[in-house]
Amino acid sequence: MLFFTLLFLAQVLVSALAAPVVTERAGGGVTAALASAVSSFTPYIQFARAAYCTNGASVWNCGAACKAISDFQIYAGGGDGAATPSWFVGWSPSLNSIVVAHEGTDPTNFLSLVNDIDWVPNKMDQAYFKGISSAIQVHGGFQDTFKRSASSILAAVKKVMAAKSSSKVTLVGHSLGGALALLDTIYLKIQIPSITTKTVTLGGPRAGNPAFAAYLNSFDLTRITHRQDPIPIVPGRLMGFAHPQGMRLDASGNSWYNCPGSDNTDGRCSTGAVANIFVGDIFDHLGSYNNLFVGSIHC
């Protein structure tokens, strides 16, 4: 386990070498988030937690996270927790929405780490993203990982849509799972134009180039980061990667801020708070988010 954890940290280091050092500054349109808005994210955090604990099964029995959202009706699950992160699709009566959730990177699993290491930007595969501009590029490893579950997730979403007569789809994920949720957002909208989406990611890395980020800006998207988590600052911007807009930052465990823009360098926001990985803290990657921790070790 220690070997793979060290390999994971080494990959973060390599990816971040091209991340520019930024100077913290005040302003940037940052405002304190309302307590009601913060608490409203708890169900999405629970779904992200559950994705690590379902182990690809289509049975809703994964411990504390599943108990916290006990009304959820799971329709399909898959993945192997390695090359293909675990995922599930189902219906949330409380959200009145179809939910798609992805597990993130497991630093103890070599195949899971390989998904992150292939960071070279690639054009989006027209077999999945028909008609999308060739200028839009995405992290190669993330796209390859996405492909391994895309068709199964699409089929499951269509099944729930038919059963519940709903076109609302919520996509969630932590870490690598957040990147996959972004790709799902684009893919499902292209495949099923009638749907409306809401995407919530936790501790997600940069997944594509500025054109990719700009494309996502038209979607309902919230990115949540926690304190000194270094994952949201990789891969580096000088390597051609960017975040889409739409972020709330948990800066201290109790103080949450709305951070407008894609890579807001205000010290209360992710890019400003973590100027480089040497001031980051990998343990903050797991939370807490609303006093909840996310990851396979918390199942």
Task: State how beta strands 97-102 and 87-92 pair.
Answer: antiparallel
Can you give the pLDDT at residue 16? Answer: 43
Contacts of 75 (CB under 8 A, 6+ apart): 58, 89, 90, 91, 156, 159, 160, 163
Mean pLDDT of the chain: 85
Nearest 5°: CA angle at 172, between 168 and 173?
160
Give the model confidence (pLDDT) of 94-133 as tens digits: 999 999 999 997 554 433 343 445 567 899 999 999 999 9
Residue 251 pLDDT level (bands cut at 50, 70, 90): low
Domain layout of the chain by residue ranges: 2-298
User: Is 2-298 a domain of CATH 3.40.50.1820?
Assistant: yes
Give the Cα separation of 102 and 178 in Å (integer).
7
